[in-house]
Amino acid sequence: MRLDNKTVIITGAGSGIGRATALRFASEGAQLMLADWNESTGEETVRMIKESGQSAVFQHTDVTKPEEVEQLVNRTVQLYGKLDVMVNNAGVSQTENKISNVPIDEWNKVVDVCLDSVFLGMKYAIPEMIKNGGGSVINTASVAGIKGQKLVAAYTAAKSGVIAITKSTALEYGKQNIRVNAIAPGIIDTAIISGWRKADKWPILSTANALRRIGQPEEVANAILFLASDEASFITGTTMVVDGGTLLGK
């Protein structure tokens, strides 16, 4: 199995891409620590994994709180003895608004959850990976952070920031055999896009790529799996786009 003996933390594992990644990683033999601020959905992911005959542990974590992220990493190492892979995936969407109408609280919250959390995840995970001789970090960005997107400036800024700190961190820790990559999904069928589904523009939005459909969380999970695995051993500092061709237009 592709993740045999690998200890993995996945944040935002209670839903969508994080849950699909947890299920996929479990089927590849990973030792899993799942984190989310939603206890019931996080525990539900653990139940789903147990139903399929594998195991995982859940730790309630708000990824914006340094002490909780540190505790998440510490508990993982206490339980499994090491940390090999960190998937910084938790994120929130932003209410659509022109920049002059964005409430300051909302700007701070979106940047906190989508960008600061990735900093915290790497800050606490990487020292443990170094002790173990190396590791792989996968940060969830977005195509919005590459191409820009109107009315969600906080989200696009945060996701561009994720791509930037992925590159900086890859350069800082390559010598210690730590690979740091990002993924940039296009529109994926999860709870985060539920608002868009109700919008008039949904028929256009949902087919605005080469494949003319939205993606499934499992399709992103497969990309994360590749980057986490030893198959990606010479890949670092990159952002893998998983968007059905959205960046090409149509």
**Interatomic CA distance for residues 54 and 47, integer angstroms:** 10
Told to check if 33 binds ligand NAD by CB under 6 A, we report: no
Q: Which stretch binds ligand NAD (CB under 6 A): 24-32, 33-41, 77-85, 166-174?
A: 33-41
Told to check if 37 binds ligand NAD by CB under 6 A, we report: yes
Q: Is 173 among the residues known to form the active site? A: no
Told to check if 91 binds ligand NAD by CB under 6 A, we report: yes
Sites for ligand NAD among residues 168-207 (CB under 6 A): 185, 187-188, 190-193
Q: Which stretch binds ligand NAD (CB under 6 A): 46-54, 84-92, 98-106, 203-211?
A: 84-92
Q: Which is nearer to ligand NAD, 108 or 233 (CB)?
A: 108
9, 23, 110, 113: which one binds ligand NAD (CB under 6 A): 113
Told to check if 17 binds ligand NAD by CB under 6 A, we report: yes
Catalog residues that contact ligand NAD under the rule CB under 6 A. Answer: 11-12, 14-18, 36-38, 41, 61-64, 89-92, 113-114, 140, 142, 185, 187-188, 190-193
Catalytic residues: 155
